[in-house]
Amino acid sequence: MCNKVQRISLTEKQQIALHQDMPYMVVDSCIACEMIYLISKGIRTLECCCGHGKQLAYALIMSESHDAMIDLGYVPVKEANGVYRVLLNGE
Ligand SMILES: [Zn+2]
């Protein structure tokens, strides 16, 4: 849990895959390492939050990353809008 954010640098390819306008993404510091790992594995994330002590850390991922997340040991849960929610390991 943290009250800090961190910039994650994105390659041009990652930027396109994640539909980010800027060459970086801002995430909560305590899940930054895990998000860098997931993005480096080609996971397409929509949003993430560490929960700030009120809920568990999670990320929303696009449906095409479902199988890859299972291969990485995560448990994607389908949301109403066709995206998947995964709990992050956090810090
Ligand atoms: Zn945090």
Instruction: Please tell me whether the overall predicted TM-score, pTM, comes out greater than 0.75 for this model.
Output: yes
pLDDT recorded at residue 2: 83
Instruction: Report the alpha-carbon distance of residue 74 to residue 20 in Å, rounded.
Output: 24
Dist. CA 26 → ligand 1 center (Å)? 12
From the list 17, 3, 16, the residue with the least C-alpha distance to 65 is 17
Distance 77 CA to ligand 1 centre (A): 22
6-56 tens-digit pLDDT = 999 999 999 999 999 999 999 999 999 999 999 999 999 999 999 998 999
Domain residue limits, the chain:
5-87
Element spanning 60, H or E: strand 58-61
